[in-house]
Structure formats: structure tokens, C-alpha cells
Chain A
Amino acid sequence: MIEIKGLHKYFGDLHVLKGIDLTVKKGEVLSIIGASGSGKSTLLYCINGLEAIQQGEVLVDGVSVHAKGTNLNQLRTKMGMVFQQFNSFPHLTALENVALAPKIVKGKSKAEAKEIARAQLQHVGLGDKFDSYPSALSGGQQQRLAIARALAMEPSYMLFDEATSALDPELVGEVLDTMRLLAEEGMTMICVTHEMGFARDVSDRVAFFHQGIMEEIGPPKQIFSEPKSEHTAKFLANVR
């Protein structure tokens, strides 16, 4: 379970997150939508401990992410993250990309790590690309590689930050399909996305962010057909 309580985040004087309260239960798929600059990415970074926070608390399985004594590196292995930029490691083959963290973070043997990597690459449909370098992969393949790399750590949660935004339109589908597959397998997911179809069809709840505030959260049906906030309505009217 991920619990966010009264979270405030500033970049200098810029108040980016203004008191977020949010709980994501095991097995849930939450989509976060909202205009650019509303603080969606920052929220994911705060959950993952990649950004410090100024007020409030983030608990992952009851462990406070920003508390002093927390072993962040260990806690992060519970959360896989996929970014908008492809972020594959260009100097490693697909297999090495995936096998590296299990080996050096979790201390798996070389053989074990490779076994895990093969399985996860197959899982995301890259079974024929083990020895390819990222430069030889399409954007969609690189994003699936990033997903496999995160999954290899056997995370309990997956955080997606606009995983399809940098892709050519014809490549969006394969990545969304992979995300859908994960959802069906019961992965707990927080997906920042501009893909309204995905948000509507796959998520259990949808949250709408507006200028650092979570304006509204609810089942996709309600958000999309009868939004309570006029900001939500306006945003949805614009993206359609």
C-alpha cells in the first residue's frame, strides 16, 4: 500500500504540490491526468524518493520514504519506474540492461540475473532482442525494455510517468498493451498518462491534478462522464 499524507513540495519558492492526500491499495491501477506542469511527475518522484519533500509523509508498505533512517535504495527496489524519456542504458545490451540491477542491487548471481532478464524480456515481447543495443531498438521497444528492467527487480508497485508521450503514434499501442498486460496480472500501478482511452479502460480510479492540487479522484466512469470539478471538465473537453 502507498499512502500519501498532506504532501507539500516546493522547488525554491515554487509551490508544486499543495497538500496531496492519496492512498493506493495493492492491486489497484490509478491513472493520473492533468495539464502539463500540474505536478504529476513530481508526485511520482516524491513517491520514489528521487525528490525531497517539505511537508507531509509518503509511506510505502508502512515505511516512510523520506524519514532519515530509511534505506532508500532497498525501498526503491519495491517500486519500478518508467520515465517519459527512454532512459535505456546505451552502453549495455538489452539483456545487460535488465540483468544489471538484480545483480548489483539484489546480489543475484550472474546466471540468476540473466535468467530473470531473459524471462522479463520475453514477458514484454522482446524475446528476440537479448543482444541488441538500445540504439538498434525502436522507441516502443526501448520503453518495453525499460518496463522489463523495472520488473526484473520484482517490484510491488510500478510508477509510469507518461511512458508513451515521447513515442511516435504508431508505437504507442505496443507499450500500452504491455501496461495493460501488467494490470491484468494484478500489478499495483500508478500511471501518469495522456492516453485517456487507457485511463478509462484499464484503471480502477482516475485522479485529476490541477496546479499542484488533486482536484478530483474517482472511478473512470464518473470522472469521464460526470466530472465534479469544472477544471476537470474543461481539461477533458480540451484533450478530446
Chain B
Amino acid sequence: MNFEYTFHWRPVMRKLPDLLEASLVTLQISVLSMIIGITLGMVLALLRMNGPKPLAWIASVWVETARNTPALFQLFFFSFGLGAFGMHLTPYLIVLFGLTFNNAGYLAENFRGGFQAVPDTQLRAARSLGMSAWQSYTRIIIPQVFRIVYHPMTNQLVWAVLMSSLAMIVGFRELAGETQALAFKTFRIFEYFAVAALIYYAMVKFILGISRLIAWRMFRY
């Protein structure tokens, strides 16, 4: 047994700037994967609800795979799986695609619920005013859907930040990856991961705070 372990925090503190920089990478990749994921999720939801058969089917496979397999499995698909086709993505792209795939799948279901919660008569009313289908959706339906899914969407962003830590398994150096690299170089594993945990906690709280602020500014009705 090994009771002699003494905690050394100073080396970790010296590397704190590196960890903070890596956490910016975490935020960046999470937010980017959300932005693309929201767009794709919207398309998937619409396709699943009233797309032509083959496309609706593809959308269903996407959504169900994203929701019924581990996120890590999805990352593996973008690393080993695509490798089978001779496509070797960089670790950054593996993580970005994996997160985006997952976000889009979960968000699609949220959006579908959102669309179903907006009464059909809203579309009729918009069309009766002479708005085109595109105008009706972008000006009337989708803003209401966003209001309905805002909360789940915030949760998904938090989830994306947490999920991005899987990057350490495919060798991308966002916060978790950087933490792992530094920790195993110095064998101060516990200390490094404890600090990383704190940073994640702070990031999540920061995101939730910002989202509450935005909701307060945006939803006046």
C-alpha cells in the first residue's frame, strides 16, 4: 500500500495558463459543434416530419444512432470507421464531427417536439397574409420553436462541453486532452484532473449564467 503520496499543487498551478488556453479550445469546439448541430438538427427534424421517404429514413437512422449509442462510439466511427474508407480525419475534425453528429441527433428530437407544439393554425395565418412558406417558417414558426427548445438547447450545449472531454481518447488536446498529456508527463494525475474538474465546473456555470441572461433579454413574452 502506498500512503506516502503527497499532493503537489505548484507544478499544476504553473501549467494553469496552458489549461486555461485549452479550455478556450473546449469552448470553441463545443460552440461550433452546437452551431452546426442546430442547423443540421433543424434539417433532420423537418426531414423526419415531412421529407421524402428515403431522406426521412436517413434522418431517422441518424437521430436514433446518435441517441442510442455512446458518444464515444460515435467518435470511434469518425476515427476508425472513416479510416476504413481511407479517410483519416485530424483529431480536431474527429471531435468536431462526433460532437456535431451527436448534437444534431438530440436537437432534432427537441426541434420535432417544438414544431409539434406550435399549432398548425399559425402557419395558416401566416400564409393567409401572403407570406411565402420560407417567410412563414423563418418569421413565425421557427422563432416560436426556438423559444420552446431554448432550455433543452442550453442543456445540450452543456452536454457538448462535457462530451468534448472524450477528445482525450482520440488524442485531441482540448482541456481534457491537455490535462491528460500534462498529467501523465508529470505523474501528478490527481492534481491535474482535480484542477480540470474545477475548470469544467466553472465553464458549465458560466454557460448557464450567460444563457439565463440571454433568455431574460430575448424572451419578453
Pick the contact of B139: A81, A90, A100, A134 (CB < 8 A): A100
Q: Total A-B pairs in contact (CB under 8 Å)?
A: 64
Please state if B129 and A149 are interface contacts (CB–CB under 8 Å). Answer: yes
Please state if B131 and A101 are interface contacts (CB–CB under 8 Å). Answer: yes
A190-213 Cβ-contact flags toward B at 8 Å (1 or 0): 000000000000000000000000
A227 to chain B, nearest CB (A): 32
Interface of B is mostly: helix
With an 8 A cutoff between CB atoms, is B132 at the interface?
A: yes
Please state if B144 and A153 are interface contacts (CB–CB under 8 Å). Answer: no
With an 8 A cutoff between CB atoms, is A240 at the interface?
A: no
With an 8 A cutoff between CB atoms, is A224 at the interface?
A: no
Pick the contact of B131: A73, A79, A135 (CB < 8 A): A73
A104, B11: Cα distance in complex, Å: 60
A116, B197: Cα distance in complex, Å: 57
Q: Which residues of B contact A106 (CB under 8 A)?
A: 130
A135, B126: Cα distance in complex, Å: 18
A209, B128: Cα distance in complex, Å: 23
Q: Which residues of B contact A73 (CB under 8 A)?
A: 130-132
On whether A91 and B122 interact (CB within 8 A), knowing A105-B129, A105-B131, the answer reads: no
B119 to chain A, nearest CB (A): 7
Please state if B220 and A104 are interface contacts (CB–CB under 8 Å). Answer: no
Q: Which residues of A contact B220 (CB under 8 A)?
A: 133
Please state if A104 and B221 are interface contacts (CB–CB under 8 Å). Answer: no
Q: Which of A144-179 contact B (CB under 8 A)?
A: 146, 149-150, 153
Q: What are the 5 tightest A-B residue pairs by CB atom distance, in nearest-first order?
A: A133-B221, A81-B128, A101-B129, A87-B125, A77-B130
B: which residues have CB within 8 A of A? 119, 121-122, 124-132, 135, 139-140, 143-144, 147, 220-221
13 contacts between A and B (CB under 8 A): A48-B128, A73-B132, A80-B129, A83-B121, A87-B122, A89-B125, A90-B144, A91-B144, A91-B147, A101-B131, A105-B129, A150-B128, A150-B129
Given known contacts A105-B130, A105-B135, what 11 new A-B pairs fall within 8 Å (CB)? A48-B128, A50-B127, A77-B130, A79-B128, A80-B128, A85-B121, A87-B121, A91-B144, A101-B129, A101-B130, A101-B131
